[in-house]
Every structure is written in C-alpha cells, then in structure tokens.
Amino acid sequence: FERRIFNFSAGPSTVPEEVLKQAQAELLNWHGLGTSVMEISHRSKDFMAVYEEVLHDLRTLMNIPDSYEILLLQGGGIGQNAGIPMNLMALGKNGPKADFLVTGIWSEKSRQEAEKYGVAHLVASSATEQFNTIPARDSWDLSDDAAYLHYCSNETIGGVEFPDTPEVGDRLLVADISSNILSKEMDISKGAVWFGGAQKNIGPSGVTIVVVRKDLLGHSMKITPSIWDWGKQAANQSMVNTPPTFSIYMAGLGFKWLLKQGGVKVIEQRNQEKANLLYDFIDQSTLYENRVNKVYRSRMNATFFLRDESLNDAFLSQSKAAGLLALRGHKAAGGMRASIYNAMPLEGVIALVEFMRDFERRA
Ligand code: PMP
C-alpha cells in the first residue's frame, strides 16, 4: 500500500495519523534536548512534566474528581484481574469475596483469576445466550458480604456493551473499561475503580490506567507484590518500578488529539454515528447479521456473521486487498468484527460499508 489503510484491529489498534506524525517528528530530538523522550530518565524533570500533563489531561477528559487517584501501571487488564482482588477483596465482610457479572469472555476471565484470592461469586451470566445479551437486572444474585461487584462495560470479543453504568446502590463497582475508555461520557463517581489498557482508544500498548477512589487505597492483601499494590504505587507516582515512558508519552499525544477533537462528548457522538451507520447497513442486509441484543450492541466492536460462512475466506482476503485490515472475529466467537475505536475516522466505516455492500452484490 502506498497509503495508510483502515485498520479495524481490536487492539493494539489504529492511532490517529497526526499523533504518529508528531511522534515521528519528535523522535530524534524531543523538545530540543537532542535526544528522544524514550531515552531519558523517568525521574528527570523533563519526563515528570510529561507525566504530570498526562495525568492532568486524563483527569480533564474523563472528568475525574479529586477524590480519585490515577495510576499508570503495566501488566494490562490481565494484570489488574489479579491486582484488583489483591487490593480490594479483603474488604469482604466475611473474608475475601467479590461479585462478578459475566457478560462475555473478559468478565469470565476476571472472575477466574479472582478465584485465586478469595470467593469469586457469579452474580449472573449470559453464557447460555452465547454472550449476546446482558442478564436482566432483576436476575442478579448480588451478595451482601462481597467487597465489590466487577463488570466489563464493553465485551470486546462478543461486541456487547452496557448502555449505562449499572445502578448498584452503595456497593463498590469495579469497571473494566479496556475497550471503551474515553469513548463516551462516564460518571466516575458511580464506580470505585475504572481500569483498562491504552492500546485501543488511546495509543500503543504498555500503559494501563487504573482510576481508584483514594479512600480504597491501603487495603491490599499481605501477599500483594509491590508493583500491584495500589497504595504503594500511589505513594510513588506509579514509579515503584521504571514506568513505560514511551507509552506514557504516546498516550499523552493521544489525549491532546482527543482534546483537540472537542473531548469525550464530541467523540461519543461521532462513535454513535459510526456504529449506527454500520449496524443499520447490517440490519437491512440479507448476507450479514449481528446477533447481539440491539440495546446492548457495542459502539466499539461491531461483530457480524456472514449467513453463508463458506464466503468467510473470500470476505477476509478481498477486504484486506481493499485496504480494510483485521476484520476477522476473535477465534472464540468466530465470524467478523470491526473495531471502530475513537481513532477510526467516519471515512473508514463508510469504506467498510461500501465494501460490504459490493461484496454482497457479487456474492
Ligand atoms: N478486558 C477487556 C474488555 C479487553 O478487551 C482486554 C484486552 N483485549 C483485556 C481486559 C485484557 O487487557 P490486556 O491485554 O491489556 O491485559
């Protein structure tokens, strides 16, 4: 290809061209220092200025109250599947326990990891519905003695998203926002912990964001490794070990880009528009189908199937040749998936729909 393609990868995923160009322009000589940002000490005043600005911009974009700490960690969402229980489960009234709402592969993975640290109680699951929906609120078996309720606000593999933050009274809510962070407005005060990696809606992989209510720091289990201990990380500016400085710098460029677009409110409308375009096309088609309960369809990961699955390989090879990359669904789900995160322009979705229409005509 002579040009940039449209990349529908679920993560790592497309980064705005402007951001890549700025990183390229600054790579050899950053801020006139005669070195790149990746080559300087994380404790230097120049890097600390980047770090403080990243925190400031993220706080602005997500509208994070001062009563919440922002940690920039490593290890991804998978790391936090262990980190969260180690830091919070001890708050269970009758010993370490947490509730899990299972709406897909990611929330189930979180539940299984937590079992190593205490009781990981299944509140409800949509497994018998092939994870194509969210269990009805009145079917949730919430415990009275659990430390918190964990849920996944957007299931990246199934393409199932909570339209709103669940109402759970004064229970502590832990939200896996790996695949919809910064894609729409979220009322941070409704949750105790919000976490996710940067590699979908922000920039390259390597940095994991954990937003946690400050009063919840300091309850970690004795066994907690120092790098997973939120209280220790908070006391050390997330630098208990050497942080992923280049990923943090890239996330910072991503935040500046999003601010320039007009922030989360503006990108939310654009994301809705992109998703509507794609789902409306799929719904009128006789070749493609989306199987997710309409009210829970993800605006980030649009999953779809070809009714004639013998056409799958042709669909994938021809779409790739047309400059539409990474449309194969996750192997656990099959079919196709178009991930249309913040950095995917409307033109990319238009190009995808045009290709799908043309492919259907020829099929
Ligand atoms: N949760 C969700 C919803 C995800 O999509 C992912 C990654 N695809 C993870 C957790 C795991 O994140 P990581 O790979 O950053 O550890």
- The rounded distance, in Å, linking the Cα atoms of 60 and 44 is 24
Q: Please name the residue whose Cα sits nearest to atom 4 of ligand 1.
A: 178
Determine the distance separating the centroid of ligand 1 and the alpha carbon of 110, expressed in angstroms: 10
Q: What are the tens digits of pLDDT across the range 280-321? A: 999 999 999 999 999 999 999 999 999 999 999 999 999 999
The domains located in the chain, with CATH, are: 21-261 (3.40.640.10), 263-362 (3.90.1150.10)
Collect all residues with Cβ–Cβ distance below 8 Å to 331 and sequence separation of at least 6.
Answer: none
| Centroid of ligand 1 to alpha carbon of 73 (angstroms) | 14
User: Which atom, in ligand 1's list, is nearest to the CA of 75?
Assistant: 16
> Which residue lies with its CA nearest to atom 12 of ligand 1?
77
Task: For residue 106, indicate whether it is catalytic.
Answer: yes
Strands of the 97-102 sheet, one edge to the other: 68-73, 208-213, 193-197, 173-176, 149-152, 97-102, 119-125
Residue 228 is a catalytic residue: no
Q: Mind listing the pLDDT tens digit of every residue in the chain (363 residues)?
A: 888 999 999 999 999 999 999 999 999 999 999 999 999 999 999 999 999 999 999 999 999 999 999 999 999 999 999 999 999 999 999 999 999 999 999 999 999 999 999 999 999 999 999 999 999 999 999 999 999 999 999 999 999 999 999 999 999 999 999 999 999 999 999 999 999 999 999 999 999 999 999 999 999 999 999 999 999 999 999 999 999 999 999 999 999 999 999 999 999 999 999 999 999 999 999 999 999 999 999 999 999 999 999 999 999 999 999 999 999 999 999 999 999 999 999 999 999 999 999 999 999
Q: Which two tokens stand for residue 227?
A: 């790098």
Q: By the 8 A CB rule, do 226 and 240 touch?
A: yes
Binding-site residues, ligand 1, Cβ < 6 A: 11, 76-78, 106, 152, 156, 176, 178-179, 197
Please write the tens of the pLDDT for every residue from 167-183.
999 999 999 999 999 99
Q: Report the separation in Å between the CA atom of 147 and the middle of ligand 1, taken as the mean of its atom positions.
A: 22
The pLDDT value given to residue 2:
86
Q: Considering only CA atoms, which residue is closest to atom 11 of ligand 1?
A: 77
Six token digits for residue 177: 């926002």
Distance 177 CA to ligand 1 centre (A): 9
Asked if the ipTM is above 0.90, the reply is yes
